[in-house]
Amino acid sequence: MSIEQPDIPARPTLDEYARAERLAPMVDALRDHASEPVRALRGRTVWMISSTAAGGGVAETLPRVVAVLRELGVRTEWRVIQGRNPAFFTLTKRVHNMLHGRDEGDLTEADRELFARESAGMAEELAPHVGPDDIVVIHDPQPAAVGDRLQERLGVPTIWRCHVGLERSTPSTDAAWRFLEPHLRRYGRTLFTLRDYVPDVLEDRASVLPPSIDPLSHKNRDLDLDKLTGILRDAGLLATEHPAITLPFGHRAERLQPDGTFGPATSPDDIGLLFRPIVLQVSRWDRLKGFAPLLEGFARLKASSGEDRKERHRRRVDHARLVLAGPDPTGVQDDPEAAAVLEELCSAWRALPEAVRRDIVLLRLPMASRKQNGLMVNALQRCACVVVQNSLQEGFGLTVTEALWKERTVLGSQAAGIRAQIEDGRTGRLVADAEDPEQIAAALDAMLSDEAGRAAWGRNGRDTVARRFLIFAEVQGWLEVLAKTAAPASS
Ligand code: UDP
């Protein structure tokens, strides 16, 4: 058993957020709403318990949520707790996959015993740290039974925060919920990313709290023109002969070459990120992200005759390039499928006619430095004319949030997380069938031709994110839930 206490950087502070352009009203609103819940939580410690400190877009904001809660006056601790038994990891990974609808076979009585036994051990480790007035928040299925045991032993209020889910039930999801349900009964409250993910068994105790992005993170902060071009150059994404003040990144982006290997991103030519209409999807290399139909859809757009296009629009489609970017699979240990998915896309690319292939760029983004990776994603999103997230299935789709915050036009799919963020025709566009390349081609064609629409969707999208999906909204949501949880005990 191990308990880890991850580092929580205190900065940026709320004052620093408030000084950033356009963030002051959100910070003020948070401060206004915070005083009452903070009073209700006085004298208690909130324990955030998860099984991993990194990985996944959602985990990125938890340290920031903890830091802001602390700054507002809520004593908050975060612990990462892991069992040592590899069979427990394998089991919880299966449960996780099943909650996403994947068939992982039957969960047996032996699995139940293993889950309960390991969780009880973890609860024993944590129990001495938790005071009688504290609140325990358990993140995700892996430590779900730990909160249950702590509640039983200490009588403390517990909340279960679930970051995963599927908008429909399948035999696999049903089985996974049946497995977890006995361990969730003692939780006073459960918190889901989306209403669509709440299973029937938890309907009476579920609230919804969407995830959020940090507007001052490397991935989302505003970039002045010199910073933007500097990042592109240092990441090897832009060819220039001009001298530079900064040094190249230690690890640079790599691009699929005609011979099937990965080489410099500026070979065989400059991508044209600053000059061409760029259609971008940046995601993990996962089949469910819908890269393959997007590639096919873009290829059809390029191959279409476009006789009825106006001159300016015809040129825009002619010049457009598709950039598909994702983490270098060699740098992501817990994602063995990524390399296979990327290889499939490389094959699909090689099968395209040379003229179309030239305008489709596959990029591997190095993961060695999270900061530099975040800056690359940030810069690429800012260069895009249209950001696509063509997911067949999606937890929430933080890439959509990130792009909308940057006032980009987004083409999304019907996945629940994406529909929660994009209102078709107001904050972006949604394609009806993410697996239909014809529809994708038609949607891209229409979006590329509609300059005014793109500007309006981007503006409206940023506005939605500012109100609902920045860290300030999430912290406010946490405060409300925590104060409600604290209320019965203090009355
Ligand atoms: N991402 C990244 N580097 C990459 C590709 C993706 O940092 O090379 C980030 C992306 O910007 C987003 C997160 O990974 O913040 C993915 O979150 P999302 O909710 O879109 O999907 P998930 O991967 O959690 O299914």
Rounded distance from Cα 229 to ligand 1 centre (Å): 22
Which is more confidently placed, 83 or 148?
Answer: 148
Please, how many CA atoms are within 13 Å of residue 433, restricted to the half-sphere of its CB? 5
Contact 148, 116 (CB under 8 A): no
Rounded distance from Cα 324 to ligand 1 centre (Å): 13
**Is the minimum distance from the CB of 365 to ligand 1 under 6 angstroms?**
yes
CA–CA separation, 16 and 471 (whole Å): 14
Report the predicted TM-score, pTM, of the whole model to 2 decimal places: 0.96
Q: At what angle do helices 86-99 and 171-184 cross, to 10 degrees?
A: 120
CA–CA separation, 266 and 249 (whole Å): 15
CA–CA separation, 409 and 384 (whole Å): 8
pLDDT of residue 82: 86
E strands, 168-277, in order = 189-192, 206-208, 254-256, 262-264
Q: Are strands 75-82 and 45-50 parallel, antiparallel or unpaired?
A: parallel
Q: Whose CA is nearest to atom 16 of ligand 1?
A: 57
Residue 454 CB coordination number (10 Å): 20
pLDDT of residue 57: 64
| Interval 367-375 mean pLDDT | 95
**Is the minimum distance from the CB of 277 to ligand 1 under 6 angstroms?**
no
Is the pLDDT reported for residue 490 higher than 50? Answer: no
Is the pLDDT reported for residue 332 higher than 70? Answer: no
Q: In a mutational test of the pocket of ligand 1, which residue from 58, 102, 251, 282 has the highest number of ligand atoms less than 8 Å from its CB?
A: 282
CA–CA separation, 16 and 371 (whole Å): 19
Rounded distance from Cα 335 to ligand 1 centre (Å): 13
Rounded distance from Cα 173 to ligand 1 centre (Å): 24
CA–CA separation, 158 and 137 (whole Å): 6
Is the pLDDT reported for residue 491 higher than 50? Answer: no
Closest CA to 80 of 109, 59, 56, 111: 59
What is the SS3 assignment for 206? Answer: strand
Q: In a mutational test of the pocket of ligand 1, which residue from 399, 421, 422 has the highest number of ligand atoms less than 8 Å from its CB?
A: 399
Q: Whose CA is nearest to atom 7 of ligand 1?
A: 374
**Is the minimum distance from the CB of 395 to ligand 1 under 6 angstroms?**
yes
Strand partners, 3: 81
Atom nearest to 327 CA in ligand 1: 8
User: Which band of pLDDT confidence, cut at 50, 70 and 90, is reported for residue 306?
Assistant: confident
**Is the minimum distance from the CB of 228 to ligand 1 under 6 angstroms?**
no
The contacts of residue 457 (CB under 8 Å, 6+ apart) are 409, 410, 425, 426, 427, 428, 429
User: Which band of pLDDT confidence, cut at 50, 70 and 90, is reported for residue 308?
Assistant: confident
**Is the minimum distance from the CB of 372 to ligand 1 under 6 angstroms?**
no
**Is the minimum distance from the CB of 281 to ligand 1 under 6 angstroms?**
no
Closest CA to 431 of 441, 421, 454: 441
Is the pLDDT reported for residue 473 higher than 70? Answer: yes
Q: Tally DSSP H helices, then E strands, for the chain.
A: 18, 15
269-292 per-position pLDDT tens digit: 999 999 999 999 999 999 999 999
Contact 28, 15 (CB under 8 A): no
Q: Mean of the per-residue pLDDT values for the chain? A: 95
**Tokens representing residue 26 in the block:** 């959100």
100-109 per-position pLDDT tens digit: 999 999 999 9
At 458, which helix (H) or strand (E)? helix 451-468
The residue length of the chain stands at 491
User: Which band of pLDDT confidence, cut at 50, 70 and 90, is reported for residue 334?
Assistant: low
Residue 185 CB coordination number (10 Å): 11
Q: Are strands 429-430 and 409-412 parallel, antiparallel or unpaired?
A: parallel
Is the pLDDT reported for residue 319 higher than 70? Answer: yes
394-420 per-position pLDDT tens digit: 999 999 999 999 999 999 999 999 999
Measured CA angle at 59 (ends 55, 63), to 5 deg: 125
Is the pLDDT reported for residue 438 higher than 80? Answer: yes
Rounded distance from Cα 393 to ligand 1 centre (Å): 14
| Interval 183-199 mean pLDDT | 96
At 279, which helix (H) or strand (E)? strand 278-282
**Tokens representing residue 85 in the block:** 């038994």
Is the pLDDT reported for residue 139 higher than 70? Answer: yes
CA–CA separation, 393 and 68 (whole Å): 31
User: Which band of pLDDT confidence, cut at 50, 70 and 90, is reported for residue 58?
Assistant: low
Is the pLDDT reported for residue 385 higher than 60? Answer: yes
| Interval 439-461 mean pLDDT | 97
Burial of 453 (0-12, 13-18, 19+ CB in 10 A): middle
**Is the minimum distance from the CB of 254 to ligand 1 under 6 angstroms?**
no
Spatial strand order in the sheet of 206-208: 2-4, 75-82, 45-50, 135-139, 158-162, 189-192, 206-208
**Tokens representing residue 131 in the block:** 């005071």
